[in-house]
Amino acid sequence: MSSKYLSSTKYLFVNTEDLDGSPDQINNIQLNLGGSSFQSDDDSVIKLSLTQFNLAKNWYDINDTNNSFRVLQKGFTHSSVVIDDTDVIIKLPPGDYICNRQIQQAFCEQLKIALDAKVNASGDSMTYTVAPNGDETLDYGIKRGSDGSISPHITSGINTRLWGVLVTASVGGFRYTNPIHIHSLHISPTQGLNAGLTADEQFNDSATIVGGNRCKVYHDLSSDSDALMASNNCFSVSSATNVTSILGYYPMNTSTHTLPYVYLRVNTAINSTTSNFENVSHNHTTQVVPSHVLAKIQRIQDGTEPGAGVYYRMNDEAFYMNYITQNRLNDLQFSLTDSKGRVLPQNNLGSNMGVFSQSYTASSKKINVNGNLFCDFTLKLERVPIPFAPNILQGFPDPSRQPNNAIHSNISNNGCLL
């Protein structure tokens, strides 16, 4: 739509794949406008708008930002079984999971590995069985009747979407003298990194995936009580006989990912966000803080069939915009982040992102520099006039001057001849 304020317009079409002079295709996109710099006058400002954006989701839904749990258990001996102190991070293998039940199964496999490793060989041998709790967590598919009706495979069941895992010790007389604790750490890196943890392990969204509580306190296994550690558990963890039940507090996430939007940031934008958008890099005391976020772009899937592409796209005319007061725009710096300011993607750039039975040749190159993680977008640059008010010195008005009377009006005639 035309505008009476529109003075001049330029579109900037950007594709970040192997972009010359830019060190990164996603996290550090640098554009030097050079001879195409955009300039405003004293009576105008530059308006920067995002009118189109496209990014293929070439990373996994479960990744370093949402796959980590901290498992803690104080060492003890029971029924001649010796359990060592346990303080480990277990991770769901990065990947695109089809359903919540598949995520539960992956969690069970990783938890079993961690618990089995802490059974000390100096005592009786013991292993654990860790499996989804079918009585508490049902994730049925659907079946279609000949009449077109849709129902669960087991008609008496409902999809509760609640997390449920059972841990069973192989020794029947074994008892959990000291309980198992499982924490989903959500501690901002601005508070400092705890020993042995990466920023993503310490600031993780796994609680969102599983429907649990976030843990905002880093506990010391040697000095903190079991009651204190239990108060920050992600799940309800309770033991009976040789069986521990690990049950979710809330329904699991409606999707198997935690990234419904990506956020485009640009060095010239000065907007405002809630402070949790900046937790990774800044520690704030107020709820709303300045931010360089220019736009948020929604996740879109092309259809529901297997293999349907997943993108972060925006093609609407309802674009995001920002006004720039500097007179000349020579360069722009962009980055893509999640809602907490973490760069994309998060899972082991440049290393094996899958599981192969064949030997794998490692690469020192990265998907966001040399691979297929890049984006394209369109910027609209406009020079928008602002009302011109000339600088006029303000003061008191000049005094009003009256004309002098004619001289004869001041001479009395009193009978005298003039």
> Do 295 and 49 contact (CB within 8 A), yes or no?
no
Q: Rg of the Cα trace of the chain?
A: 33
Confidence of residue 166 (pLDDT cuts 50, 70, 90): very high
Give 268-325 pLDDT, tens digit per residue. 776 666 666 555 655 555 666 657 788 899 999 887 665 678 999 988 665 788 888 7
pTM of the model: 0.81
Instruction: Output DSSP code: residue 173.
Output: T
Asked if residue 170 has pLDDT above 80, the reply is yes
Asked if residue 74 has pLDDT above 80, the reply is yes
pLDDT given for residue 17 in this prediction: 95
Confidence of residue 6 (pLDDT cuts 50, 70, 90): very low
| Alpha helices, H only, 117-205 | 199-202
Confidence of residue 413 (pLDDT cuts 50, 70, 90): low
pLDDT given for residue 219 in this prediction: 95
pLDDT given for residue 2 in this prediction: 45
Confidence of residue 5 (pLDDT cuts 50, 70, 90): very low
The residue ranges of every structural domain in the chain are: 8-60+259-385, 68-247
**Torsion, CA 217, CA 223, CA 229, CA 230, rounded to 10:** -170
Q: In what order do the strands lie in the sheet with 81-83?
A: 76-78, 81-83, 119-120
pLDDT given for residue 101 in this prediction: 86
Strand stretches in 57-163, DSSP E: 68-73, 76-78, 81-83, 86-91, 119-120, 128-132, 142-144, 150-152
Share of the chain above pLDDT 90, in %: 46
Give 35-64 pLDDT, tens digit per residue. 777 877 777 888 888 999 999 999 999 999
Architecture of domain 8-60+259-385 in CATH? Sandwich (2.60)
- Return the closest-CA partner of residue 210 out of 418, 52, 66, 85: 66
